[in-house]
Amino acid sequence: MSRVFLPGIGFREPGLRLGAAVTQRAPTGRAITITELVSTPDGTDLIYEVEWHGEQNVHCERDQLVMHGASMDPACRPGSMSVAVRQGKLVCTRSLPPVETGVSHVEIEITGDGGEWRVPLDLEPFGDDERQRRRDVGASDTRQDVTITVDSIVALPDATVVEVRAHSDRPGRRIGIGGLHSMRDETTAMRLHDGRDRTYLERTRNDARDQFPDRFGRADIAMFGPLPDDAGALVLEVPFVCGEDHTTSVEIALPMREPVTVELAGAQMRILATREAALPMSRGPAIAVDLDVTTWHGDRRVITPLRADVDGQEAGVSWANGLQAPAPEPVPYILVPCAAPSEARALTLRGAFVQQRGPWRIPIGPIP
């Protein structure tokens, strides 16, 4: 059987899945809802929601979680996790080992600041879905050092789903489609063009809670509305990608009074000057680094450095006015904490968010 698209999860091999959400209240009264448990031979996706109304003493990232009855081991403990804040709840996504073959009943035990729960769950097989028409694609387009590959396309009654990957040939670079962390708005979203010159905009993903869980850190999902039967051959257009590079660095002498162009993560960045400054909310003195945000350098631009050292000591970075992740723009300056800015002699900028513009255009053929 081929892989199946699961809304809210993504593409998965056939396996076991929780049939319906299960809610339970802890003795303290706080509710937890297990919304998804999807297990395949590659692993298990668990998504649960913890009732939350702004309390400062609930830290789901510290939850202790055990999945009983799931493998040959007496307990299956989780790997990576993420937490998203929504109105009235915290949404937690965890990855666990796969459920053992033949097991159809497991128990999730979660303990933490929010409460203690032992939630029994009944699982059922999933696989073939007659409502899905899927076709493998395997087509790519490469610009500069970035390759975009479309793996498959699926037609659903209410949506068209494209499975897509971005890869960079640069060592240490992680690439996401659109804005930072693969978030997208209308300006950075993917587009489909059909054989009649019509264009369809991706349903935008401008919040971390819109992400699809990906244990392997490589797949992305573009969701469009249902397409007309006469659409003909389709072409996927990717206007932007953003890369995150933690291996790059550049050192400048302090103080810097004249503009200088440096390179971070394969992209040029023009530093205008450095000056003494203060961190917001009276958090102490800092070195301000003023940056030129007016132009692209070819088809690349640095959105911001990620970290900084002052005279060999790690100092961190504060970004001016924050970052708009779905449609990032270069920051006009960064603030680097420093106890004595006038005495600092060397500043090292480390890591960078780098944006690249296309478009990449991948022919993917007709609707399945």
Residues 114 and 219 grouped into a single domain: no
pLDDT digits (tens), the chain, 368 positions: 578 888 888 888 899 999 999 999 998 889 999 999 999 988 899 999 999 998 888 888 888 888 887 765 655 666 677 888 888 999 998 888 889 888 899 999 999 888 999 999 999 998 877 788 889 999 999 998 999 999 999 999 999 999 999 999 888 788 999 999 888 999 999 999 999 999 999 998 655 545 565 655 567 999 999 999 899 999 999 999 999 999 999 999 999 999 999 999 888 999 999 999 999 887 899 999 999 987 788 899 999 999 999 999 999 898 867 788 899 999 999 999 999 999 999 999 999 999 999 999 999 999 98
Q: Which domain holds residue 44?
A: 4-126
One-character DSSP codes across 111-162: EETTEEEEEEEEEEEE---TT-EEEEEEEEEEETTEEEEEEEEEE-SS-EEE
Q: Which residues contact 281 (CB under 8 A, 6 or more apart)?
A: none
Residues 71 and 101 grouped into a single domain: yes
Residues 227 and 272 grouped into a single domain: no
**Global pTM value:** 0.84
Residues 278 and 201 grouped into a single domain: no
Residues 159 and 92 grouped into a single domain: no
Report the domain count for the chain.
3
Pick from 108, 126, 144: which residue ends a domain? Answer: 126
Residues 184 and 326 grouped into a single domain: no
Question: If you search the block for the tokens 């087509």, which residue do you land on?
Answer: 139
Identify the CATH number of the domain in which residue 100 sits.
2.60.40
d(CA 236, CA 357): 15
Q: Which residues contact 133 (CB under 8 A, 6 or more apart)?
A: 154, 155, 367, 368
- CB of 104 within 8 A of CB of 18? no
- Paired tokens of 51: 């009732």
Residues 310 and 251 grouped into a single domain: yes
Pick from 126, 143, 163: which residue ends a domain? Answer: 126
